[in-house]
């Protein structure tokens, strides 16, 4: 009887002062099972074109990361029009279209060569950002949560298992707003590959099944307003369609 089993048996009999919420869970393409979300890791400035538009260095500087809470994921069905509430506290709310990797296995100090074997599947995501709040935070050298980690700030579509997502690491990404193309690039243009992101993240955090990685956005980020309809597509993944409500 190890410590973990003892802890498990204690947990089984625990009662809570209120009912804990189950995790946000994403539908899995071709399966009746859901993917339960733990954490959401995000990489900053991972396409040279976007680094330039943000006034940063487009070269290969060490990668940097931030997080969104797992319950900040707004899970949307593939292709169906969903409503995303315009958040309070911003007048410059930006879309960032990103490939999302969903981990089935975790660990520390994961080797780059082994990193992709930790991926369960992929989804289309939007890293929604209060750009005005993020810009203030940068200027004042304060943390980014208010800009980046708001309620429902990670819009994510259904997860396509890796076996059916071939080619997604060199696929076209495209975001339209009201049918106008706003962002267009290929995932092959990432500065830090997904395998490198997993390797570096796992030097700082113990990754775990259920973690999502938002792999960065290309150029063309811009504000949306209420009534706008965003459509995000990446390769053959299920697209997402979201009206800002």
Residue 166: CA atoms inside 13 Å, Cβ hemisphere, count?
Answer: 2
Closer residue to Mn ion in complex, CB, 64/204? 64
Stretch that binds Mn ion, among 81-89, 106-114, 171-179, 214-222 (CB under 5 A): 214-222
CA 201 distance to own-chain centroid = 14
Q: Is the dihedral of CA 164, 168, 194, 127 positive or negative?
A: negative
The answer to whether 46 contacts Mn ion (rule: CB under 5 A) is no
Q: Residue 150 in contact with residue 87, Cβ under 8 Å?
A: yes
Interface with Mn ion: number of residues (CB under 5 A): 3
Q: Is the dihedral of CA 237, 243, 244, 245 positive or negative?
A: negative
Closer residue to Mn ion in complex, CB, 183/217? 217
Closer residue to Mn ion in complex, CB, 28/153? 153
Retrieve residue 167's tokens.
Answer: 């080619």
Stretch that binds Mn ion, among 27-35, 53-61, 126-134, 219-227 (CB under 5 A): 126-134
The answer to whether 174 contacts Mn ion (rule: CB under 5 A) is no
The answer to whether 153 contacts Mn ion (rule: CB under 5 A) is no
The answer to whether 96 contacts Mn ion (rule: CB under 5 A) is yes
Separation between Cα atoms, residue 190 and residue 215, nearest integer Å: 8
Retrieve residue 161's tokens.
Answer: 């298992």
Per-residue buried b or exposed e for 136-169, using 16+ beta carbons within 10 Å of the residue's own CB = ebeeeeeebbbbbbbebbbbbbbbbbbeebeebb
Minimum distance of Mn ion from residue 229's CB (angstroms): 20
Separation between Cα atoms, residue 212 and residue 184, nearest integer Å: 22
Separation between Cα atoms, residue 115 and residue 124, nearest integer Å: 20
Q: Residue 94 in contact with residue 129, Cβ under 8 Å?
A: yes
Minimum distance of Mn ion from residue 52's CB (angstroms): 15
Minimum distance of Mn ion from residue 204's CB (angstroms): 18
Closer residue to Mn ion in complex, CB, 148/241? 148
Stretch that binds Mn ion, among 26-34, 89-97, 113-121, 158-166 (CB under 5 A): 89-97
> 107, 236, 75, 73: which is closest to 163 by C-alpha?
236
Among 134, 215, 217, 238, indicate the residue that binds Mn ion (CB under 5 A). Answer: 217
Closer residue to Mn ion in complex, CB, 34/186? 186
The answer to whether 134 contacts Mn ion (rule: CB under 5 A) is no
Closer residue to Mn ion in complex, CB, 46/238? 46
Closer residue to Mn ion in complex, CB, 90/217? 217
Give the interface with Mn ion as residue ranges (CB under 5 A): 96, 127, 217
């Amino acid at each position: 009887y190890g410590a973990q089993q003892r802890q498990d048996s204690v947990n089984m009999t625990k009662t809570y002062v209120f009912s804990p919420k189950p995790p946000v869970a994403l539908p899995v393409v071709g399966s009746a099972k859901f993917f339960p979300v733990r954490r959401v890791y995000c990489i900053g400035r991972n396409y040279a074109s976007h680094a330039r538009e943000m006034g940063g260095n487009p070269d290969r500087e060490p990668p940097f990361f931030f997080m969104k809470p797992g319950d900040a994921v707004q899970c949307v069905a593939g292709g169906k029009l969903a409503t995303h509430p315009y958040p309070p506290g911003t007048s410059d709310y930006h879309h960032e279209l990103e490939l999302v990797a969903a981990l089935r296995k975790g660990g520390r100090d994961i080797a780059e060569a082994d990193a992709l074997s930790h991926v369960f599947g992929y989804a289309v995501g939007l890293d929604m950002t209060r750009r005005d709040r993020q810009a203030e935070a940068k200027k004042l050298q304060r943390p980014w949560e208010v800009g980046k980690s708001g309620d429902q700030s990670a819009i994510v579509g259904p997860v396509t298992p890796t076996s059916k997502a071939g080619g997604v690491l060199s696929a076209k990404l495209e975001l339209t707003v009201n049918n106008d193309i706003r962002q267009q690039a290929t995932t092959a243009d990432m500065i830090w590959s997904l395998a490198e992101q997993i390797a570096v993240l796992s030097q700082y955090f113990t990754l775990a099944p259920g973690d999502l990685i938002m792999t960065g956005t290309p150029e063309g980020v811009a504000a949306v307003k209420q009534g706008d309809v965003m459509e995000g597509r990446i390769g053959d993944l299920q697209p997402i369609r979201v009206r800002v409500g």
